[in-house]
Amino acid sequence: MANAREIKKRMKAVGNIRRITKTMQMIATSKYAKAQHAATASKPFTEGVFDLVTQLAAKAGNIQHPLINGPSSGSKGKTVLLVLTSDRGLCGPYNGSILRTSVRMLREQTDAYQSEMVGKKGAGFYKFNNFEVTHHHREFGDKADFEDVERLAQRYMDEFTRGEIAGVKVVYMRYISTARQKPEVLQLLPLKPPPAAEDEQGSEGGASVVYDFSPEPEQLLNDLLPVTVKTTLFQCFNDALVSEHVARMIAMKSATDNAGKMGKNLQRRFNRARQSQITTELTEIISGAAALE
């Protein structure tokens, strides 16, 4: 059994770790609340624009648009695979789930994609595993501003309409609820509405909104489709951010609980070691006194 002094040092180290993880949990909880508000506030607008574009396309009939059908001359490039990871770790399986999804796509169709990365963790993983990253976006940091996302989306739309890329797919962590997030691959270009959420499919029997369009649907689509691409990409960034904070909050809570359990276990071991030490000392004193008689 280890002596009491060594156990005491370990108890102090575990206590320090527990205080650090508890603080990180509180910080992640605070950031999660702000990120969740931003993600949930922007989602109705994004879904509303998609619904409007869907109805416009249905009313306009067989409509042709570069963001839907691509350039008339065809595409000469690869599909961009934009992977959204975090700059910092200690967020449980968050980065691992996203990276496994993206690597599986790259290995199934090696020559179909060119990878672009957001986040230091993803860039480091790709470099370690010898996957080529054509562009590492460092401008977003811990929180993506709409202006930065808008510039990125505009670049993708320009390259897509010129035929330089075949499309854009985004690999990110989709936020469903505090208890559930899942890695998802969203096709940003050519544009198509995302699948309905699982918890929203039961409401299909409700009343649908009917719009009167002015001016004509074709003209409206020219303005709405770029807005749809930009808001959809921004929603992906928002979902990724709130999912990262949830994962870090849960990971730090688990680490704090484990440190607490280890501290209690070490306290019991310390008590046993101290008791054994006292018993040994008493035995030595009694034996010495008996020897003097």
CATH class of the domain comprising 63-195+213-247: alpha beta
Q: What is the pTM of this model?
A: 0.82
Q: Give residue 135's pLDDT band: very low, low, confident or very high (50, 70, 90).
A: very high
44 cis-preceded (ω within 30 degrees of 0): no
DSSP-assigned beta bridge partners for residue 194: none
Domain boundaries, the chain: 63-195+213-247
pLDDT tens per residue across span 46-55: 888 877 777 7
For 262-288, write each residue's pLDDT tens digit.
Answer: 999 999 999 988 888 888 888 888 888
Q: How confident is the model at residue 204 (pLDDT cuts 50, 70, 90)?
A: very low
**Is 164 in a helix, a strand, or coil?**
coil
pLDDT at 62: 65
Q: What is the pLDDT of residues 3-54, one digit of tens each?
A: 888 899 999 999 999 999 999 999 999 999 989 988 888 888 888 887 777 7
Q: Which residue, 212, 201, 208, 205, is CA-closest to 59?
A: 212
> Does residue 203 surpass a pLDDT of 50?
no
Question: Half-sphere exposure of 276 toward its Cβ, with a 13 Å CA cutoff?
Answer: 10
For the chain, give the longest Cα–Cα distance.
114
Q: Where are the beta strands (DSSP E) in the chain?
A: 79-84, 113-118, 133-137, 167-177, 180-189
Could you tell me the CA-to-CA distances from 291 to 149, 246, 288 in Å, in that order? 85, 67, 5
Average pLDDT, the chain: 86
- The distance of Cα 249 from the centroid of its chain, to the nearest Å, equals 13
- Whole-angstrom distance, CA of residue 45 vs CA of residue 22: 36
Sign of CA dihedral 66, 72, 73, 77: positive
What pLDDT is attached to residue 11?
A: 93
With bands split at pLDDT 50, 70 and 90, how would you rate the model's confidence at 238?
Answer: very high
* Residue predicted with more confidence, 25 or 222: 25
CB within 8 Å of 226: residues ≥ 6 apart: 67, 153, 154, 157
